[in-house]
Amino acid sequence: MNQSLWNGGVDLYSGSGTDIEVVFDKGENRKRAVQTLKWLQEMDELGPKASGWEWGDCTNALIQNQLVGWAGLGGLAIQEIQANRPDCTNALIQNQLVGWAGLGGLAIQEIQANRPDLTSKFTPAPYPVASGQDPSQWWSYFEGIYAYKKADNVKGGKEFIKFFMQSDYYFKYLRETAPFSFPTSKKGIQDERYRKAEIYNAVPKFLDVVESNWDQMAPVLNTGDNGKPNALAANAYSQQLYGQAASELLYGNRSPEETVDWLAKQLRNL
């Protein structure tokens, strides 16, 4: 839900650091938020009736023929499917499937090797949003390495992080997991050590989409004003409040309006 609201142009917060105000339940933000939640309800009608599913649950359901498709992101999930149900990958190659909503280097490489004519038809797209909303801001999932400010030898820790994230070893990892993994800076995206990943020979538009929209991307920790840190968002993320709100909406019989109010109250109580 966090991603859907953010990508749907909803401003969730105002302020920065620990001085954060919840604003998505007010004015135009509220209208966009309600519209987004109504859209999520419509999308849910097409999905399995299960609460709290994670990647492993979706992967197993697809392997066991409980799902006909899954819009997901992750090389690990696709590797699991390839190992247990290679026919899911092969079906696309053999024209037995019209399409498969997924993203992962392994699957695309399999298709490229066997049906290169299909690869040329792939087009990367931004995260879907409700009709009429402007996806001008992109919520991005981010995993990073941090140096705790009260730890011993913080300076040395920062120097190591800088060294590691500029190393050939790190860029090799990024290449092997592309397009699931991207560098954490635009300079890194433009680095030839990353751009020469084999997948981008087949689908170069992935890089174009990321570069063109880099300034609109923000991880949850940087959703304060002007991209500054947001302590409340980090706390909400760690407690999965947006996931709880989605459960309230889809399985708790709350209306979109009631869900917006419920989530706003929970956030203000943190």
Q: Model confidence over 173-221: pLDDT tens digits?
A: 998 887 778 888 889 999 999 999 877 876 787 788 888 888 888 777 7
Alpha helices (H) in 115-253, listed in sequence order: 116-119, 154-164, 168-177, 186-189, 192-195, 199-202, 205-212, 231-238, 241-251
2-139+219-268 carries CATH number 3.90.1570? no
Answer with the residue of higher pLDDT: 102 or 8: 8
Q: What is residue 75's predicted lDDT score, i.e. its pLDDT?
A: 46
**Contacts of range 180-186, beta carbons closer than 8 Å, 24 or more positions apart:** 180/73, 180/74, 180/75, 180/103, 180/104, 180/105, 182/210, 184/142, 184/144, 186/211, 186/214
Distance CA 127, CA 135 (A): 8
> Which candidate, 4, 43, 12, places its Cα nearest to that of 263?
12
Q: Are 225 and 14 in contact (CB under 8 A)?
A: yes
% residues pLDDT > 90 (the chain): 27
Q: What is residue 44's predicted lDDT score, i.e. its pLDDT?
A: 80
Q: Model confidence over 212-258: pLDDT tens digits?
A: 888 888 777 788 898 888 999 989 988 989 989 999 998 898 999 99
**Any idea where the domains of the chain sit in the sequence?**
2-139+219-268, 154-216
Distance CA 14, CA 37 (A): 21
- Alpha carbon distances (Å) from 84 to 55, 62, 78, 93, 112: 15, 10, 10, 17, 20
Q: What is residue 92's predicted lDDT score, i.e. its pLDDT?
A: 45
Distance CA 92, CA 101 (A): 11
**pTM (predicted TM-score):** 0.69
3-state secondary structure of 16: strand
Report the 10 Å Cβ neighbour count for 63.
Answer: 15
Average pLDDT, the chain: 77
